[in-house]
Amino acid sequence: MTEFPADEPAWLDQQLTDRELAAAMCQGCPVADECLEPELRSGGADTVGVWGGLSADDRRELHPHWLRRGERAERGVAR
C-alpha cells in the first residue's frame, strides 16, 4: 500500500505554469522515465496532462525525437 504524506505539497498554493507544475510534481520520482514512456507510445502528439515530469507541450516537442530514437534502437544503430 502506498502512503502519502499528510502535508500538502509546498507548490499547491503557487501559480505555476504547466511546465513548472510538472517539474514540481514529479521531482525526485524514481519512475519518471517509466511513466513517460507509455504516454509517448499512446498519446504521441495528442498527449495531455503531466507524465514523467514533462508538460504536454514538452512531450509534443519530444515525441518526434523519441520516435527517431526508437527506430534506430530497433535497427540496432547506436545513438
pTM score above 0.75: no
Percent of the chain with pLDDT over 90: 0
What's the pLDDT at 27? 85
Residue 58's CB: how many other CB atoms inside 10 A?
A: 19
Residue 45 has pLDDT above 50, yes or no: yes
- Judge contact between 9 and 46, C-beta under 8 A: no
Long-range contacts of 8-12 (CB under 8 A, 24+ apart): none
Mean pLDDT of the chain: 77
Rounded CA separation 49/16 (Å): 14
